[in-house]
Amino acid sequence: MIEHYLSAKRQGDRAVSQANFLGMNPYLPCLSDRIPDTEIRTVMHLGVMEIPTFMIAGTRHASRSHSFANNYMPIMGKNTEFAQKWSLLYDAQVTEGIREPIKVYEYKWKFYVEEGNKRVSVLKYLENPEVSAEVIRIIPAASDDEETKAYFEFLEFYKCAPIYSIILKKPGGYKKLAEYMGLNLTDPWPRDAVNKLSGAYYRFAQSYFEKGVRNTDVTVGEAFLMYLSVYPMESLLDVSKPVLNYRLERLWEEMIVTSDDEHLTVIEKPEETEVKTSALSAIFKSSFGSSYSEEKPLKAAFMYRKSPEESAWMNSHEKGRIYLEHAFRGIVKTMKYENLADDTELRAAIDDAVEQGAEVIFTTSNTDMAESLRSALHFPEVQFFNCSINESYKSVPTYYGRLYEVKFLMGALAACYAENHKIGYLAEYPLYGTIANINAFAIGAGMIDPNVKVYLKWSSLQERDWRDDMKADGIKVVCGHDRIKPSWPNDELGLFITDWEGSRKRLAEIEWNWGKYYELIIQDVLGGSEYLRMMSKQHQALNYWYGISSGVLDIRLMKDLPYYSEKLVKLLREGLVNGTIDPFAGEIHSQEKTVQGSFAPRMSNKDIIRMDWLNDNIVGEMPKIGLFEDEAQAVVKVSGIKKVTEESE
């Protein structure tokens, strides 16, 4: 029926005009143009199967590409043989269906047609979701390119669950999807699990596209993964469509924020939030316009995974909570929930806090982020904050200390006492932010002693004692634990000198002031709410990352240090505060290459937070996640750097 051909041709002509206007290729992409001639690749015959028509991107041969617009609609004249054949295929499809499979080549999630271009055009015009095809897969050469690495992960996923339509182009995506399913990318998945995933994804995609979000950088696969980070997969099969649509609306801004770094704002100093008032009486006003008083205080709840009596980390936050109440003289009232062993208990505590009138909720562990986000979407009237770094969610600002400044000072001090040019550095987990601490320490040490070597050890490795390793390496000056745990000796805290026979002399340690940090954040919630609202409207995720100058942390020197050591640290500290000294400005070398030249400015906050390399005077490496103890692996999975969380090939 020629009228349907003409209707399809009009769609093709519009696509050509639009592409020409935008300076894009108006015709079908060709596979030979996509694959570099020099690329080594493997060809694999997969047989005949049903493939999604939306993944058919173009043709294998350039000679066929100019018969179609880039949306696969025809553009040849109505009196041509091409138009007649297209119309006959249309009639065949609507009367009895086209049964003969087409032949395609698959390359990086897309199909290119060898035989059957007109059939594909007809099926796309009719919006058929699938087509039968003989598939030949072209496997690209391995490389460090993110898309290629993600595609190789897809190949592992496809062996376990042969589903083509879920496209995740960031490394680690398919692994995370498998974890949400309670499975892995090594063993074939049960048919029921494959069907469950396929059905859940299909229902999600339907709602996603009904929301009219096709023209976005967030792919449906990435959005699906975001949904699963907040809600269980079963909910996609059980909840009503209105509920699913509501959840997508609430998640949509989070999808925008996590799509790229442009939506992340890192706040280094309190003055950056532009709180313009100094009197407490002038700032007690909420974003809803109501004033707070002792009779009507702002209520804030603190969530602790463990008891402050059992955990030094929780105890330091508990001191901050108590300080907060005193700082605002009754205008702010707080409550605490402790020993929250898992997300279920955390969720119940958050529900109770909201019922008790909490308008601000602090979750004090990076493992709390998933439940914090879930609850923030459920309670949009409550402001959540999570104590972590390198997390980017609009609904849950994060806060942490710029710890690398203190580590830089400790490194310089350590080099003064390392007579054999060897210093030990103990790290617990390879997390984002932690690597910057290690490198800043090594840079500080190298500035004092150019011949120094920093020996990096990890306290959470399986069946490994870092003390034995450091003793064997002849190390006597050690940067030890940053915080106290019941199972760790107190004399291994901070920077110390040891003979490994029981003698310990502490030189310095980290001093946290969480009370000051919470005071600054609450000031933003009260008087600086305009700033928070502005960031919200601009689809910005906020990371508070305050340092020494804000008073939220510092270095504490032991009283019996020589005055020369104290003088050195004070001079370097003053340089950090006024900006004349920064460990990440100027020339820097990693273990593999030159990171930046001698006249380079200070690295951006995002580059510092996301460091995944070690300085050239560091002896050691970042082990893969499987080498850590189980408890450590759970933490690393949340905030660990990709180089660690990705499995070895």
160 phi/psi in degrees, rounded to 5 = -85, -40
pLDDT band at 463 (very low <50, low <70, confident <90, very high): confident
Q: Which residues contact 15 (CB under 8 A, 6 or more apart)?
A: 26, 69, 70, 71, 73
Domain range for residue 452?
404-481+552-645
CB 509 within 8 A of CB 556: yes
The yes-or-no verdict on residue 408 having pLDDT over 80 is: yes
The yes-or-no verdict on residue 535 having pLDDT over 80 is: no
Render pLDDT for 627-640 as a digit per residue (tens, 0 to 9).
Answer: 888 888 888 877 77
Q: How far is residue 29's CA from residue 85's CA, in Å, rounded to a whole number?
A: 22
CB 416 within 8 A of CB 596: no
Confirm whether 91 is domain-assigned: yes
For the ranges 34-48, 248-262, 291-305, which has the lowest average pLDDT?
248-262
Q: What is the CATH number of the domain that holds 29?
A: 3.90.1530.10
The whole-number pLDDT of residue 614 equals: 96
**Residue found by looking up tokens 């005077």 in the block:** 617
**Number of other residues whose CB lies within 10 A of the CB of residue 551:** 15
Instruction: Indicate the DSSP class of residue 431.
Output: B
Confirm whether 565 is domain-assigned: yes
For the ranges 252-256, 447-451, 523-527, which has the lowest average pLDDT?
252-256
For the ranges 91-100, 206-215, 564-573, 583-592, which has the lowest average pLDDT?
206-215
For the ranges 114-123, 223-232, 330-339, 592-601, which has the lowest average pLDDT?
223-232
Confirm whether 297 is domain-assigned: yes
Boundary of a domain, candidates 141, 160, 195: 141
Confirm whether 390 is domain-assigned: yes
Question: 445 vs 225, which has greater pLDDT?
Answer: 445
The whole-number pLDDT of residue 233 equals: 85
Does one domain contain both 429 and 348? Answer: no
Does one domain contain both 463 and 523? Answer: no
The yes-or-no verdict on residue 2 having pLDDT over 50 is: yes
Question: 222 vs 268, which has greater pLDDT?
Answer: 222
494 phi/psi in degrees, rounded to 5 = 70, -155
Cβ-count burial 375-408 (b if 16+ within 10 Å, e if not): bbbebeebbbbbbbbbbbbbbbbbbbbbbbbbbb
The whole-number pLDDT of residue 208 equals: 80
The whole-number pLDDT of residue 253 equals: 64
Does one domain contain both 451 and 528? Answer: no
The yes-or-no verdict on residue 126 having pLDDT over 80 is: yes
% of the chain surpassing 90 pLDDT:
48
The yes-or-no verdict on residue 399 having pLDDT over 80 is: yes
% of the chain surpassing 70 pLDDT:
88
- Tokens linked to 65: 């590409």
pLDDT band at 486 (very low <50, low <70, confident <90, very high): low
The whole-number pLDDT of residue 452 equals: 97
Does one domain contain both 435 and 573? Answer: yes
The rounded Cα 69 to chain-centroid distance in angstroms is 37
The yes-or-no verdict on residue 272 having pLDDT over 70 is: no
Instruction: Indicate the DSSP class of residue 394.
Output: T
Q: How far is residue 440's CA from residue 434's CA, in Å, rounded to a whole number?
A: 10
The yes-or-no verdict on residue 79 having pLDDT over 80 is: yes
The yes-or-no verdict on residue 164 having pLDDT over 50 is: yes
CB 102 within 8 A of CB 133: yes
Range 416-428 average pLDDT:
95
Does one domain contain both 347 and 443? Answer: no
Cβ-count burial 466-496 (b if 16+ within 10 Å, e if not): bbebbbeeebbbbbbbbbbeeeeeeebbbbb
Beta bridge partners of 461: 628
**Residue found by looking up tokens 């100094």 in the block:** 278
The whole-number pLDDT of residue 648 equals: 40
Q: How far is residue 202's CA from residue 164's CA, in Å, rounded to a whole number?
A: 12
**Residue found by looking up tokens 């893969």 in the block:** 624
Query: What stretches of 328-389 show up as alpha helix (H) in DSSP?
Result: 343-355, 369-378
pLDDT band at 219 (very low <50, low <70, confident <90, very high): confident
Q: What is the CATH number of the domain that holds 469?
A: 3.40.50.2300
635 phi/psi in degrees, rounded to 5 = -75, -45
The whole-number pLDDT of residue 485 equals: 64
- Angle 228-195-164 (CA atoms, 0-180°, nearest 5)? 75
Instruction: Indicate the DSSP class of residue 548.
Output: G
Confirm whether 575 is domain-assigned: yes
Kindly provide the residue ranges of all beta strands, DSSP E only, lying in 216-273, ordered along the sequence: 264-267
Range 109-113 average pLDDT:
92
The domain tally of the chain equals 3
Render pLDDT for 338-395 as a digit per residue (tens, 0 to 9).
Answer: 999 999 999 999 999 999 999 999 999 988 988 998 899 889 889 999 998 877 677 8
pLDDT band at 594 (very low <50, low <70, confident <90, very high): very high
Does one domain contain both 422 and 297? Answer: no
CB 306 within 8 A of CB 314: yes
Range 87-96 average pLDDT:
89
The whole-number pLDDT of residue 288 equals: 38
Among residues 425, 510, 437, the alpha carbon closest in space to that of 466 is found at 425
Does one domain contain both 431 and 535? Answer: no
For the ranges 23-37, 172-186, 510-524, 586-600, which has the lowest average pLDDT?
23-37
The whole-number pLDDT of residue 632 equals: 83
Helix, strand, or coil (residue 119): helix
Confirm whether 215 is domain-assigned: no
**Number of other residues whose CB lies within 10 A of the CB of residue 315:** 18
Boundary of a domain, candidates 119, 141, 163: 141
Render pLDDT for 276-319 as a digit per residue (tens, 0 to 9).
Answer: 333 333 434 444 345 788 889 999 999 999 998 888 889 999 99
pLDDT band at 275 (very low <50, low <70, confident <90, very high): very low
- Tokens linked to 416: 């003064």
Boundary of a domain, candidates 72, 106, 141: 141
The whole-number pLDDT of residue 256 equals: 56
Confirm whether 96 is domain-assigned: yes
For the ranges 96-105, 402-411, 575-584, which has the lowest average pLDDT?
96-105
Among residues 486, 180, 136, 454, the alpha carbon closest in space to that of 311 is found at 486
Amino acid at 246: Y
Q: What is the mean pLDDT of the chain?
A: 86
Does one domain contain both 302 and 410? Answer: no
- Angle 113-117-122 (CA atoms, 0-180°, nearest 5)? 130
- Tokens linked to 213: 């979000």
Query: What stretches of 231-303 show up as alpha helix (H) in DSSP?
Result: 234-238, 241-258
Q: How far is residue 342's CA from residue 72's CA, in Å, rounded to a whole number?
A: 51
The yes-or-no verdict on residue 404 having pLDDT over 70 is: yes
- Tokens linked to 139: 């496997």
The whole-number pLDDT of residue 281 equals: 36
Confirm whether 167 is domain-assigned: no
Most confident of 183-197, 220-234, 268-282, 440-454: 440-454
Does one domain contain both 542 and 595? Answer: no
The whole-number pLDDT of residue 647 equals: 52
Q: How far is residue 353's CA from residue 366's CA, in Å, rounded to a whole number?
A: 20
Does one domain contain both 541 and 628? Answer: no
Does one domain contain both 529 and 616? Answer: no
Does one domain contain both 17 and 120? Answer: yes
CB 350 within 8 A of CB 377: no
Helix (H) or strand (E) holding 521: helix 514-526
Range 64-75 average pLDDT:
89
pLDDT band at 99 (very low <50, low <70, confident <90, very high): confident
For the ranges 102-106, 125-129, 640-644, which has the lowest average pLDDT?
640-644
